[in-house]
Amino acid sequence: MRLTRIVVAIAGLATLALASPLAAQTRTPPLRIIYPFPGGGSGDALTRLIADRLGTALERPVIVEPRPGAAGRLGVQAVKTSEPDGNTLLVTPIAPMAVYQSVYPALEYDPVKDFTPVSQVATFDFGICIDPKIPAGNLAELVAWLKANPGKANFATPGPGTLPHFFGLMFANTAGVPLQHIAYKGGVPALTDLMGGRMPVVLLSTNELVELHKAGRIRVLATSGAERSAFLPDIPTFKESGYDIEGRGWWGFFAPAGTPSAAVSKLSGAIARIVQGEDVKARIAQFGLKPTGTSPEEFARIQREDIDLWAAPIKASGYKAEQ
């Protein structure tokens, strides 16, 4: 009987020893990544790609929560009001964190004071394209054609208040051409009208233009980055074409303000290593994005610079979004 009690006691201790790591793992709260737009599309795919690897790297559950609404502002607001304990992240494109404060009269959050940059993960350029029937092989020839045809000096974008909208106005001001903005509901109808001869100029993110340009159905004349696009290496930048402007969009991760620096550093390092891995870099490129992976300090600098960059053309346009 005594031997039986000893065996049972030893078995109980062994069970506790095996259960303790599992219990500790169970008690680890999940890392929530708030995606402030509807699911689907390249942004959602990018987020889930990184989240999947992040769970393995951090050895903790990672959950992606789409929080769509108000052009992304509802999801951003949800992260702002979350506990700054390292358990909640925001993943977002550039607009909510570097543009919205210039277009919304009363923004519910401060993109700088209410958040801590964690890591930029990818960038994207814009391209200017024309109907191949227009006699212009470069930007200078397009500007000359627009000045000779002022009644046709229009450019289309996927919508009002988008970065292509403001970049187009930046180009118009630099080139001295009174381009009129025509807002479409997405890039596809804008390109459809361009290929149908009803719109002379379209500005969109580069990834939307690559295949049509290669097929000869549109002609891309310039891209907006500091260097040539990896997806259109034969196309010069605006600066190379003699127009001293550049602009680039990005995707990145933010934490609520006040998140401990040790937690931010750990998350940033893990995200950057994931993004810079060869397999993930290849997948991100398939989305038409250029993978980066920055430190918190570098991302904070990029955010501040882009806030200043986009504020000027937005103010000059007089555009204000509806709340």
> Which residues does residue 31 pair with via DSSP β-bridges, in sequence order?
62
Can you tell me the distance from the alpha carbon of 278 to that of 294, in angstroms, rounded to the nearest whole number? 16
Structure tokens of 24?
């500790």
pTM above 0.75? Answer: yes
- The sign of the CA dihedral 193, 194, 200, 201 is positive
Can you tell me the distance from the alpha carbon of 307 to that of 314, in angstroms, rounded to the nearest whole number? 11
Q: In 10 A of CB 82, how many CB atoms?
A: 17
> Which residues does residue 119 pair with via DSSP β-bridges, in sequence order?
253
Phi, psi dihedral angles at 230 (to 5 degrees): -65, -20
State CA 301 to chain mean position distance: 16
Return the closest-CA partner of residue 89 out of 42, 38, 30, 154. 30
Determine the pLDDT at residue 41.
83
Residue 263 and residue 255 in contact, taking contact as beta carbons nearer than 8 Å: yes
Structure tokens of 142?
């397009």
Burial of 267 (0-12, 13-18, 19+ CB in 10 A): buried
Which SS3 state, helix, strand or coil, does residue 35 take? strand
Q: Are strands 180-183 and 154-157 parallel, antiparallel or unpaired?
A: parallel
DSSP collapsed to 3 states, 151-165 = HHCEEEECCCCCHHH
pLDDT, one tens digit for every residue, the chain (323 residues) = 444 444 334 444 444 344 344 434 457 899 999 999 998 888 999 999 999 999 999 999 999 999 999 999 999 999 999 999 999 999 999 999 999 999 998 899 999 999 999 999 999 999 999 999 999 999 999 999 999 999 999 999 999 989 999 999 999 999 999 899 999 999 999 999 999 999 999 999 999 999 999 999 999 999 999 999 999 999 999 999 999 999 999 999 999 999 999 999 999 999 999 999 999 999 999 999 999 999 999 999 999 999 999 999 999 888 988 76
Long-range contacts of 261-266 (CB under 8 A, 24+ apart): 263/85, 263/86, 264/86, 264/116, 264/118, 264/296, 265/296, 266/58, 266/86
